[in-house]
């Protein structure tokens, strides 16, 4: 009964509207949104998973064994190059330095004594040489006297006694000269021996000085200093523990400049050859655009980076090439070990770009509805690649410049359906 009453009421309402000449809304088919295909340039963000690392990360390990006496820094602390980080018990090393220094002083005394011996031997040599010269002069004088008396004796001017006396004087002078010459030889030998002793003492001084230097270096090894400026990482040891050259004390991450380590695929390298890459990696890297680092939470790091290195060898197991992108880190926001994405902008020129909404996905193929001259739609198969902006795709095959396609609502169209309608004119 209620349904009959409702129907009657609706009928009466319609009759009233007609009587009042009120226009009823008419159902009008509207056109689908379309676009005309053309080419354009587009920047595609090529993304690579990356791990950040300090450009000069240094693992700190002691060079000597001993008890760790003091830890002078804390985890996360900013340090400068040369700042003391750890101190190992160095009392024995101090004793070694003192002993080496004492030995050096003793050897230097020996050198001084040897130098004095040289000077004394040289003085003796000079005295012997002077005596030799005097003896040689006396010998020459005695020889002249003997030869003169000999001539006079032959002329019976001098007696035999005077001749024999001059001969004895000459022989005695010769003996004195021989003794003086022997003394000179002995003095020369003494000088040579003194010099040899001094040379040996000097060698001992050098050896002792080397021992002092070595012991001081060893002593310095017990105080471990920061090799670079940066941030202190985890410190897995405690004061009082025994450490050795195999003990990892911490890592100093030089974070003023950071490097994002990532890998590019072999296919990208092959593509680079098609762009004109001639194998000169350094020249190729200089032409790369600036890159962006995006953290895991999607935050984009404020400073741009540059691809700084790329190995010239493809990893046979992964088919990739290891690369590094360098980023400035003046605020210290980047830390070693954080992961994210390196985004490399790649410009594609004169390509066909259409909205993702224009593409219908059917299993393993993609279709776009092409608008024919009679305003009906027909499906054409296309191949596409991602444009990287979340809203567009690049069409590589299936469309040409000038084609008109359905841009919005392609999923609601059937083959041969009319998609363009003339605009409805409103009566004045």
- Between the alpha carbon of residue 124 and those of residues 6, 86, 188, 189, 373, the distances in Å are 151, 60, 9, 11, 127
Q: Are residues 238 and 200 in the same domain?
A: no
Q: Are 392 and 355 in contact (CB under 8 A)?
A: yes
Domain containing 311 — which CATH number? 2.40.30.170
Q: Are residues 263 and 299 in the same domain?
A: yes
pLDDT surpassing 70 at residue 12: no
Residue 191 lies in a domain: yes
What contacts 159, CB < 8 A, 6 or more positions away? 153
Q: Are residues 112 and 208 in the same domain?
A: yes
Which tens digit of pLDDT belongs to each residue from 294-308? 999 999 999 999 988
Q: Taking each helix axis as running N to C, give the angle between helix 91-154 and helix 160-220, from 0 to 180 degrees, rounded to the nearest 10.
A: 170
Give the pLDDT confidence score for residue 201 in this predicted structure: 85
pLDDT surpassing 90 at residue 30: no
Residue 11 lies in a domain: no
Residue 379 lies in a domain: no
Give the pLDDT confidence score for residue 421 in this predicted structure: 87
Average pLDDT, the chain: 85
Give the pLDDT confidence score for residue 405 in this predicted structure: 93
Q: Are residues 157 and 174 in the same domain?
A: yes
Q: Are residues 334 and 318 in the same domain?
A: yes
End of a domain among 313, 348, 383? 348
Q: Structurally, how many domains does the chain consist of?
A: 3
Domain containing 117 — which CATH number? 1.10.287.620
Which residues form the domain of 279? 44-56+252-348
End of a domain among 324, 348, 372? 348
Distance separating alpha carbons of residues 100 and 204, to the nearest angstrom: 12
Q: Are residues 166 and 257 in the same domain?
A: no
Is residue 315 very low, low, confident or very high in pLDDT (cuts 50, 70, 90)?
A: confident
Residue 412 lies in a domain: no
Distance separating alpha carbons of residues 279 and 43, to the nearest angstrom: 24
Q: Which of 256, 262, 234 is nearest to 51 (CA)?
A: 262
Which tens digit of pLDDT belongs to each residue from 142-190? 899 888 988 988 888 888 888 889 889 989 989 999 999 999 999 899 9
Residue 113 lies in a domain: yes
Which position has the token pair 């509805």?
Answer: 369
Q: Are residues 73 and 152 in the same domain?
A: no
pLDDT surpassing 80 at residue 427: no
Which tens digit of pLDDT belongs to each residue from 98-131? 998 999 898 888 888 888 988 998 999 899 899 9
For residues 25-38, average pLDDT? 78
Give the pLDDT confidence score for residue 271 in this predicted structure: 62
Q: Are residues 207 and 115 in the same domain?
A: yes
Q: Are residues 205 and 266 in the same domain?
A: no
Give the pLDDT confidence score for residue 425 in this predicted structure: 43
Is residue 423 very low, low, confident or very high in pLDDT (cuts 50, 70, 90)?
A: low
Give the pLDDT confidence score for residue 4 in this predicted structure: 43
Residue 363 lies in a domain: no
> Percentage of the chain surpassing pLDDT 70?
87
Residue 51 lies in a domain: yes
End of a domain among 327, 348, 369? 348
Which has the higher per-residue pLDDT, 399 or 3?
399
> Percentage of the chain surpassing pLDDT 90?
44
Q: Are residues 110 and 209 in the same domain?
A: yes
Give the pLDDT confidence score for residue 262 in this predicted structure: 92
Q: Are residues 100 and 216 in the same domain?
A: yes
Which tens digit of pLDDT belongs to each residue from 254-276? 778 889 999 887 766 666 655 55
Which has the higher per-residue pLDDT, 280 or 166?
166
Q: Which of 362, 354, 363 is nearest to 411 (CA)?
A: 362
Give the pLDDT confidence score for residue 247 in this predicted structure: 94
Q: What is the dihedral of CA 329, 332, 338, 343, to 10 degrees?
A: -30
Residue 240 lies in a domain: yes
Structure token digits, residue 397: 């095959």
* Rg (alpha carbons) of the chain, rounded to whole number: 52
Q: Are residues 170 and 189 in the same domain?
A: yes
pLDDT surpassing 50 at residue 1: no
């Amino acid at each position: 009964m209620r349904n009959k009453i409702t129907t009657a009421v609706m009928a009466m309402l319609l009759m009233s509207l007609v009587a009042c000449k009120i226009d009823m809304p008419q159902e009008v088919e509207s056109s689908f949104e379309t676009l005309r295909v053309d080419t354009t340039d587009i920047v595609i963000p090529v993304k690579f998973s990356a791990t950040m690392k300090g450009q000069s990360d240094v693992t700190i390990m002691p060079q000597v064994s001993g008890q760790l006496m003091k830890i002078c820094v804390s985890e996360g602390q900013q340090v400068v190059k040369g700042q003391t980080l750890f101190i190992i018990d160095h009392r024995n090393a101090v004793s070694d330095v003192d002993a080496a220094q004492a030995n050096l002083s003793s050897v230097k005394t020996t050198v001084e004594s040897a130098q004095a011996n040289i000077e004394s031997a040289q003085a003796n040599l000079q005295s012997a040489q002077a005596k030799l010269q005097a003896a040689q002069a006396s010998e020459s004088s005695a020889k002249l006297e003997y030869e003169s008396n000999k001539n006079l004796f032959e002329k019976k001017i001098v007696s035999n006694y005077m001749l024999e006396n001059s001969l004895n004087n000459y022989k005695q002078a010769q003996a004195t000269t021989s003794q003086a010459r022997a003394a000179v030889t002995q003095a020369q030998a003494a000088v040579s021996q003194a010099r040899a002793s001094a040379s040996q003492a000097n060698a001992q001084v050098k050896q002792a000085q080397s021992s002092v230097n070595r012991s001081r270096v060893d002593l310095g090894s017990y105080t471990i200093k920061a090799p670079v400026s940066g941030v202190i990482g985890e410190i897995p040891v405690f004061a009082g523990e025994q450490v050795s050259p195999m003990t990892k004390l911490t890592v100093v991450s030089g974070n003023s400049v950071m490097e994002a380590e990532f890998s590019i695929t072999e296919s990208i390298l092959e593509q680079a050859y098609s762009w004109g890459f001639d194998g000169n990696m350094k020249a190729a890297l200089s032409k790369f655009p600036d890159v962006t680092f995006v953290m895991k939470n999607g935050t984009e790091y404020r400073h741009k980076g540059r691809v700084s290195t790329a190995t010239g060898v493809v990893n046979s197991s992964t088919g990739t090439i290891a690369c590094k992108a360098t980023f400035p880190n003046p605020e210290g926001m980047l830390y070693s070990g954080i992961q994210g994405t390196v985004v490399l902008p790649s410009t594609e020129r004169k390509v066909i770009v259409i909205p993702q909404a224009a593409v219908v996905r059917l299993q393993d193929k993609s279709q776009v509805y092409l608008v024919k001259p009679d305003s009906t739609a027909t499906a054409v198969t296309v191949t596409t690649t991602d444009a990287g902006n979340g809203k567009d795709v690049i069409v590589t095959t299936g469309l040409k410049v000038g084609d008109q396609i359905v841009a919005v609502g392609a999923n609601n169209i059937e083959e041969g359906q009319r998609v363009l309608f003339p605009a409805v004119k409103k009566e004045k």
